[in-house]
Chain A
Amino acid sequence: MNFSDLNDEMHKHLQEKIADLMERGLSESEARAQALPEFGNRTLYLEDSRNVWRWGWIDRLNQDFRHALRGMRRSPGFTAIVIATLALGIGANTAIFSLVNQLLLHPAGIDLPERVVAVRTRYTKLKLLDIGVSAPTFADLRNSRQVFDHAAITRAVDLNYTDSDTPQRLIGAAVTSEWFDVFGARPLLGRVFRAEEDEPNANHVAILSYAAWERLFSGDRSVIGRTIRLSQSSYQVIGVMKPSFRFPQNADLWTPLGWPTDQFAEMFRFNERFFAVARLKPGVSPRQASAWMDVLTSRVRQSNLPWVTEAKWGLFDIAFTDSFAGATKTPLLVLAAAVGFVLLIACSNIAGLMLARASARSREFAVRSALGAGRGRLLRILLTESAALAAAGGTAGLALAYGATRLLLQLAPESASAGLSPALDAYVLLFCGATVIFSGLLFGIVPAWRISRSDPNEALTGGRSSTAERKRQRLRSALVIAETAFALVLLVAAGLFLRSFVQLEAANPGFNPGGVMTASFTLPTAAYPDGQKQAEFYRTLLERLRSTPGVASAALGYPIPFSGIDESGAFDIEGYVPPPGDPGPHGDDRFVTPGYFEALSIPLLRGRSFTDQDRVTTQPVAVIDDVLAQRYWPGKDPIGQHIKLGPVTCTIVGEVGHVLHSDLAADSGRGAYYFTLFQRAGRMASVVVKTKGEPAAIAPAVREAVRATDPHQAIYSIRPMEEMVAASLAPRQFGMRLLGFFGATALFLAALGLYGVISYSVAHRTREIGIRVALGASSSSVIREVVGQGLKLAGIGAGLGICGAALSGRVLAHQLPGVAAFDPLTLSAMAAALLTAAFVASYLPALRAARVDPVTALRNE
C-alpha cells in the first residue's frame, strides 16, 4: 500500500465533507468554500505524504536539479554567459595546473618525486651559486647511506651513431649504476646497470630511451643483446627504458660512467663536472637531508686549504623537480596565481549575475516561501542551481583545458614544453573537480544566503525600493569593486612583465648575433685522440667554410654564448698575492680560434686578438675580457701580464669586451678569459659563421663542409645565433604573452560585471530617472550621473587594486630584472586602461538612461 491513490482519496474526502455540509443546508458553493480551507494545503500535504515514502534528500536533490535545469533552459542567455565565463576560469586554471603538475608535482617517470633531490655546489664568493658536484663529493653522497637510499651522478656525452646511413649525434648520459634506482625507474625491456659496471673498463653497455629505440630500431624487441657502434666503439644494448623516463632531459641513451678510481681522490674535490641526484631514505625528512649537506660541507672545509672556506664553498640540495623545472618554475607559478585571479573575477561576475537574476525572480521565491517552502529548501534550490551551473561550466572548462594545454604546448618554446603532454591525468581531473566545487560555492553561496533571507511579504506586495533590493545592489557593487581590484593587480603584473621584457630585448649582450649561423660537433676520442688531430680537423673545416660563398668570416669557439654550456676555473696571476679572505682569481673559460671576435663583433679593447701564428710551438697566449681586467688589473694595462693555469703560463695579448653568456636578464658577474683552440684543443666546439645574407641559408653549406672534412662526423644544434639569444628569452616572452592574455580577460570580465551592475541599476531606477527628466534634468546630466556611478565603483576598485599591485609588485620585482617593485608608469597606465574600460561599460547604460521617456516611465508603475 502506498500513496499512489492518495490524491483520489483526498478528493473523496472533500466530496464526503461537501456532501455532509450540504446535508446541513449549505448550498454547494458555500459548502465548498468552507470545506477547502478546513482541509488545508492539499498540495503540501500530498508532498509531505509522498516524502514519507521517498528516499528523502536524494529525491529532493533530483527534484531541485531538474528544477535547476528547467531554469537554465528558461534563460539561455544567462546560462550561456555563466557557463562561458566559468569555462574560461576553470579551463585556464586546469590547463595551468596540468603543467604545474607535470613539472613540479608529479613529473612522469619518477616514483615519489618528492623524495628525490639534486645535490649542488656553490662558491658564494666566486659568484658560482649553483653548479654540479665532483667525483669525491659523489663518493661522500654514496656513502651517506643513513640519509640516502641511492645516489648517482651523470655527465653528458655526445656519441656519433654510425650504423645508420648518415652519422647521427646521439645525446648520451654517462651515469653511475644507481641512476635508475634514484628515480625508481624500471626498464621496459632488459635490465638496468649493475654495480660492477661502474668499473672503468666494464662500461661498454647501453640502455636506450624509448624514443631512440623507436627511432633507430623501429621498436624491435630483439635489440637487447645486439652490439651497436657509437663513436667508433662497440656497445652492447642491455635495456630499453619506459617511455615516461627521460632524465636527464632528451637523453637518447645511457651508458655507465666508468669513472677512473684514482679520479675520486681528494685532489679532485673541486673539479665539479657532474649532475648529482639522490633518493632520501624513508623516514629522512628533506630538512634532515639539508642538514646533512651542511655536515658534509664542514668536513670538506676542515680538511682542505683555507681558500675553500674563503670562497664559501658549500654543498646544498634542492628538490629534483625544482631543478628540472628550472627557469620555467617562476613564470609558471606567476601564471598559476594569475589564472586564480581570473577565476575569482569570473566567480564574482557570476555571483553578480545571479543576484541580478534573483532580483528578477524575487516574486517567484516569495510565492514559494508563502506556499510553505522553508528557508532551507530555498537555499537548497538556489545552491542546486549553482551546482548545476558549476558542473556545466566545469565540463566545458575541462574540454577547454584539454584544448588549451595542447595549444600551450604547441606555442610554448621548446625549452619549456619538452616532455610535457596535454593528457589530463587523475590529478588534473581531481583538481578540476575541486575547482568546480570551490567556484560553485563561491558564486552560489552569497546570493543564496541573501535571497533566502529576504522577506516574502515585501517581495509580494512589490515595493520596488525594498531594503532587500538595496542590500542586493550594495552586494553587487562590492563584487564589482573586488573584480576591478583583482583585474588591476593582474594588469599591473602583466605590465611589469612587459616592461621587463622590453628592457631585456633592448639589452646589449656584448656581441652582435645578427647574421651569425652556428653548429656544434663533438669529435670522437678514437679518431681524434690528441690536440694535433683535433687542430687538423679545425683547420681543414675552417678553410672550407671560409671559401664558401656568402661567408664573411668563420671561426670556432667553445662554449659559445647562449649554447647552455658554461665552464669556469681558477688561475693564478704572476706576482699577485690574493688579499686575506679572497679565494683568488677565478674566471669563465673560453676556447676560440682566430676570427672568433670578428665573427661575433666582440670589440677588441686593447692589444691584439688571436692569429694563425699562435700555435702549440709558440708562447701560450690568452685574451681577457674587461670585467676580468678591471677586477685584477684595475687602472692598469693587463697586456703583457702572465697568468698561470697549472704548469702553463700564458701571456695576456689582448682585452675584449664582456659578453653576456647565458642570460640577458642576469650577468654572472664573472669575467672570462679566452685561449686559442690551436694551443689548447678539445673534442667539442661550435662553428660560428658570419654570413653576408640570411644565416639560415648557409646551413646546408656548413653541413657539407663538415661532411667533406670527415664523413663520419655528425653535427648538431644548427641554429642562427639570433634564434639562440631569442630562445633564452622565449619562456619569459611566452609567460608575458599569457599573462597579457589573462590580464585582458580579467579586464573584460570586470567591465562586463560593471556593465551589468550599472544596467541593472538604470533599469531599476527608470521611474526615478523619469521623474528627474520630467522635472527638467538634461540628458547630459543623467549620463554624467550614471557614468559617475560606474567610475566611482571602478575608482574604489582601482584604489584597492593599486594597493594589491604594490604588494604583488614586491614579489614580482625579484623575478623581473630592470623593474622596480612600485612602478608608477605601469601602475598609472594600467589604472587608466581600467578606468577607460569602466567608462565604456557605464556609458552604454547611461545612454539608455538618457533616453528614458518620462511619460512611459511613470505610467509603468
Chain B
Amino acid sequence: MEPAARDLFPGALEMMLLQALRREPMHGYALVQHIRQSSGDLLEIEEGSLYPALQRMLKAKWVTAEWGLSARNRRVRIYRITPLGRKQLERKVSAFERMLEGIARAMKARTS
C-alpha cells in the first residue's frame, strides 16, 4: 500500500489538521482517526507523518499543545488551534480552492 500522505501536495496535511482542530482540540491519534473518517477512508495517511507536520505547526505558532487525558484516560498531548492558525487556515483554503478550480478548468479544456 502506497502511503497516501506522500502523494498529498505540500501543505495539504497541515491544512486538514488545522481544519480538524478548528472544530475542537484533539490529540494525535484522534486527529488521524478524524481525517480518515471525514475523508470517507479515501485518504490513507501514514500516521507517523502527522508528527513532523504538528511540530512545524507548533514552531509556526499555528497550534499550541498541552498534556491532557484521552477518552481512554491515557495521558496524551492535546493540540489546540491559535488565532494565527485560523488566519493561516483561511488563507490556505482560499488558495486551495483557487488551485482546485484552476485544475478543474484545465482538465475540462483537455477533454472537450
Show the binding face of A for B, using Cβ within 8 Å.
1-3, 5-6, 9-10, 12-13, 15-17, 19-20, 38-42, 44-46, 48-49, 51-53
Contact = CB atoms under 8 A, between A and B. Distances in A.
Contacts of B48: 10, 39-42, 44-45
B77 A16 contact: no
B46 A52 contact: no
B43 interface: no
A13 B3 contact: no
6 contacts: A10-B28, A16-B74, A20-B29, A40-B49, A49-B51, A49-B55
Contacts of A20: 29
B74 A15 contact: yes
A49 B3 CA distance: 18
Contact of B72 (A3, A19, A44): A19
A19 B49 CA distance: 21
A51 B54 CA distance: 13
Contact of B58 (A1, A19, A45): A1
B56 A52 contact: yes
B47 A40 contact: yes
B76 interface: yes
B38 interface: no
Interface string B34-71: 00000000000011110110111011000011110010
B91 interface: no
Given A13-B28, A39-B46, A53-B59, A6 B72 contact: no
B28 A49 contact: no
B75 interface: yes
A32 to B, nearest CB: 14
A45 B51 contact: yes
Contacts of A53: 55, 59
A44 B6 CA distance: 14
B52 A45 contact: yes
Contacts of B46: 38-40
Contacts of A19: 72
What does DSSP make chain A's interface, helix, strand, loop or mixed?
helix
Contacts of B47: 13, 17, 38-40
Interface of B: 3, 27-29, 46-49, 51-52, 54-56, 58-59, 64-67, 70, 72, 74-77
B74 A12 contact: yes
B74 A52 contact: no
A325 to B, nearest CB: 61
Nearest to A46: B51
B52 A52 contact: yes
Given A15-B74, A19-B72, A52 B28 contact: no
Nearest to B67: A5
Contact of A17 (B29, B51, B55): B29
B51 A9 contact: yes
Given A1-B64, A9-B77, A15-B74, A48 B52 contact: yes
Given A1-B64, A17-B47, A40-B47, 12 more contacts: A5-B67, A12-B76, A13-B28, A13-B29, A13-B76, A15-B74, A16-B74, A40-B46, A42-B48, A45-B49, A45-B52, A48-B52
B97 to A, nearest CB: 28
A6 B74 CA distance: 15
A446 B47 CA distance: 39
B44 to A, nearest CB: 8
A1 B74 CA distance: 20
Contacts of A51: 52
B29 A49 contact: no
B30 to A, nearest CB: 8
Nearest to B52: A48
Contacts of A13: 27-29, 47, 76
A2 B61 CA distance: 12
Contact of B3 (A3, A15, A40): A40
From B3, B51, B66, residue with most partner A Cβ within 10 Å: B51
A6 B49 contact: no
A3 B55 contact: yes
What 6 pairs across the A-B complex have the smallest Cβ distances?
Answer: A40-B46, A40-B48, A45-B48, A48-B52, A52-B55, A49-B55
Contacts of B56: 52
A3 B77 CA distance: 11
A16 B74 CA distance: 8
B20 to A, nearest CB: 15
Contacts of B3: 40
A103 B51 CA distance: 63
A49 B59 contact: no
Contacts of A17: 29, 47
Contacts of A48: 51-52
B76 A10 contact: no
Contacts of B28: 9-10, 13
Contact of B70 (A1, A16, A38, A44): A16
A13 B72 CA distance: 12
Contacts of B55: 3, 6, 49, 52-53
Contacts of B52: 45, 48-49, 51-52
Given A40-B3, A40-B46, A52-B59, A16 B76 contact: yes
Contacts of B59: 52-53
Contacts of B67: 5
B51 A10 contact: yes
From A10, A13, A17, residue with most partner B Cβ within 10 Å: A13
Contacts of A12: 29, 74-77
A53 B58 CA distance: 10
Nearest to A9: B77
Contacts of B72: 16, 19
Nearest to B66: A1
Nearest to A41: B48
B79 to A, nearest CB: 10
B54 to A, nearest CB: 8
Contacts of A44: 48
A617 to B, nearest CB: 109
A17 B32 CA distance: 10
A240 to B, nearest CB: 66
A9 B49 contact: no
B52 to A, nearest CB: 4
B51 A6 contact: yes
A17 B55 CA distance: 21
A798 B28 CA distance: 68
Contacts of A42: 48
Contacts of A15: 74
Contacts of A39: 46-48
B70 to A, nearest CB: 6
B4 to A, nearest CB: 11
A41 B54 CA distance: 16
